[in-house]
Amino acid sequence: MKAGRAFTSFTRTERMGIISLLLLIAILLAVKATMHLWVHPSYNREQEARLNAQWQQLKARTTKEPPLYNYSHTDTFSPKRNSHLSEVPNKKNAAAEVKIKMFVFDPNTVDSIGLRKLGLREKTTAIFLHWRAKGKVFYNKEELKKVYTLTQEDYDRLEPYIQIDRSRLK
């Protein structure tokens, strides 16, 4: 056997392996091309009607409720800002659209809508939830002061309503 030929030819085992792989690929392509002929998905008309009715109810409910704040695509993805946690540009209009409603809350379980209803800015809410998603647990009220962008005035306003459920803490 010549030295140059060893790099350009295959052994019998290698040829059988290549043929087997090509055959397997051809079979898989044929199955994919003809699958629509022999696999029929089940279609449940009652379930489809029920889901459609629920969808229409959800659409009707969400279009009747005014948004918590004026949001547009440019607010979050502004080329002038390098942060995904940007604020609504017009603070006066944003504060007017958010109806502040004070209520007792647990900072370990409150959601973004609750934080916005408490009067926190969008950026502060996002930072608060991101911090909590990373594993932060609040053990006492004073730990909220450490939340970046939470002003002292906001903390003073929220402090009487903070109630930490100690039974849920580890």
One domain, residues 160 and 86: yes
Query: Average pLDDT of the chain?
Result: 78
Residue 60 has pLDDT above 70, yes or no: yes
Asked whether residue 65 is domain-assigned, the answer is no
Would you state the pLDDT for residue 79?
A: 42
In terms of domains, do 103 and 25 share one? no
Tell me, yes or no, whether 47 lies in a domain. Answer: no
For the full predicted model, state whether its pTM sits above 0.75: no
DSSP string, 113-162: HHHHHTT--HHHHHHHHHHHHTT----SGGGGGGSTT--HHHHHHHGGGB
> So what's the pLDDT on residue 137?
87
How many domains would you assign to the chain? 2
- Same domain? For 90 and 157 the reply is yes
Domain range for residue 11?
A: 5-38
Residue-wise DSSP of 22-42: HHHHHHHHHHHHHHHHH----
Are 129 and 112 a contacting pair, CB within 8 Å?
A: yes
